[in-house]
Amino acid sequence: MAGFSTPALAAAVSEAGGLGSIAIGTMTPAQAADEIARTRALTARPFAVNLFCHRPPRRDAEIEAAWIDRLAPLFADFGATPPAALRDIYPGFTGAGEMLDMLCDARPALVSFHFGLPDAAALDRLRGAGAVLAASATSRAEAEAVVAAGVDLVVAQGWEAGGHRGSFDPAAGDDRLPLFDLLAALRGLARPVVAAGGIMDAADVRAARAAGAVAVQCGTAFLMAAEAATSPAHRAALATGQTVMTRAVSGRAARSIVNRFTQIDGREAPDYPVAYDAGKALNAAAAARGEWGFGAQWAGTGAARAVARRAAETVAALAAGAV
């Protein structure tokens, strides 16, 4: 939930008996430390942080220039010009560095990983700092890699999930397994499995538990929470319930509400997060003219079932299906 999670949301979920989480994958170590401190000021209960472990993007000046040219007419529609060059705006968490040092000092209860895993030394240090470790997997092969690394929990990310696919290697293909097919594929795995993707109510929780999951992970169910940083335009768009997987916004497959940006063919976009540099600039130009259809309006297939209420009420509604 990068961009939508807040200390208030994480704390509210934890206070209500869940495990709140802060998305720090797009933050600097200083920003992440501040988010953790702000969350600790709101709750004494355990909470998690989530990191992006993507490898450095493949840089190709020709592809990047072509993508800038592809978006230039849209910038012009809003009286703006695209950036002259694109940047790698989000370094992945792959191992040693300031972020790891900060986490070992801050000692969040759980650290989860998306887009793969950091190196073994980083995992060892986080374990030594007392963190439970979790990682997303979209296939049996990825789940087995998570187990082999000694990570404690596997988060099974079904095709229905909102936001970015957690695939380790986006160039390797994707079986696009719906959640319950993925849970079936992970039966017998030597780690507990957490279900993610399309979990919106108590019935969904019961079904995931019956399929072998020990717990569920929810994002879209909390996008309408008062404590979430979801924009008014994004909240309004959720009601359509129409989602699509796109590369156009960020350069990596992600499930979004259908909007003007998702109508662009993203197959020729530069790698994540380089394409995201252009996407954010285009959204800023459009928003300055009152057009909200170029935002990263991430949401899962259950978007229309998101309920506007306090986060604690959503936790209670989901927990009613825990047994």
DSSP summary character for residue 298: B
Give residue 323's pLDDT: 63
Average pLDDT on 104-123 reads: 98
Give the whole-number percent of the chain exceeding pLDDT 90: 98
pLDDT band at 254; cut points 50, 70, 90: very high
Question: H-helix or E-strand containing 244?
Answer: strand 243-246
The residues pairing with 193 across neighbouring beta strands, listed in sequence order, are 154
pLDDT band at 156; cut points 50, 70, 90: very high
Q: Please, are residues 92 and 170 in contact by the beta-carbon 8 Å criterion? A: no
The residues pairing with 215 across neighbouring beta strands, listed in sequence order, are 194
DSSP H stretches of helix in the chain: 7-15, 29-42, 61-77, 98-106, 120-128, 140-148, 179-185, 202-210, 232-238, 274-288, 311-319
Give residue 95's pLDDT: 80
pTM above 0.85, yes or no: yes
Both tokens of residue 129?
A: 């700092």
pLDDT band at 248; cut points 50, 70, 90: very high
Kindly indicate whether the domain formed by 1-54+90-228+306-323 is annotated with CATH number 3.20.20.70: yes
Give residue 250's pLDDT: 98
The pLDDT tens digits for 18-46 are 999 999 999 999 999 999 999 999 999 99
Which of 195, 164, 6, 177 has the alpha carbon at shortest distance from 92? 164
Q: Please, are residues 62 and 264 in contact by the beta-carbon 8 Å criterion? A: no
pLDDT band at 129; cut points 50, 70, 90: very high
Average pLDDT on 164-173 reads: 95
- 3-state secondary structure at position 207: helix
Question: Which amino acid type is present at position 210?
Answer: A
pLDDT band at 219; cut points 50, 70, 90: very high
The pLDDT tens digits for 259-307 are 999 999 999 999 999 999 999 999 999 999 999 999 999 999 999 999 9
Query: What phi-psi label fits residue 190: left (phi over 0), alpha (psi between -120 and 50 degrees) or beta?
Result: alpha
Average pLDDT on 45-71 reads: 97
- Taking CA atoms, 212 is separated from 86, 139, 162, 301, in Å, by 43, 16, 21, 21
Rounded Cα distance, 87 and 220, in Å:
29
Rounded to 10°, the helix 311-319/202-210 angle is 50
Average pLDDT on 34-59 reads: 97
Q: Please, are residues 233 and 283 in contact by the beta-carbon 8 Å criterion? A: no
Q: Would you list the domain boundaries of the chain?
A: 1-54+90-228+306-323, 59-89+242-298
pLDDT band at 49; cut points 50, 70, 90: very high
Both tokens of residue 20?
A: 């709140």
The answer to whether residue 214 scores a pLDDT higher than 90 is yes
Give residue 96's pLDDT: 74
Give residue 94's pLDDT: 87
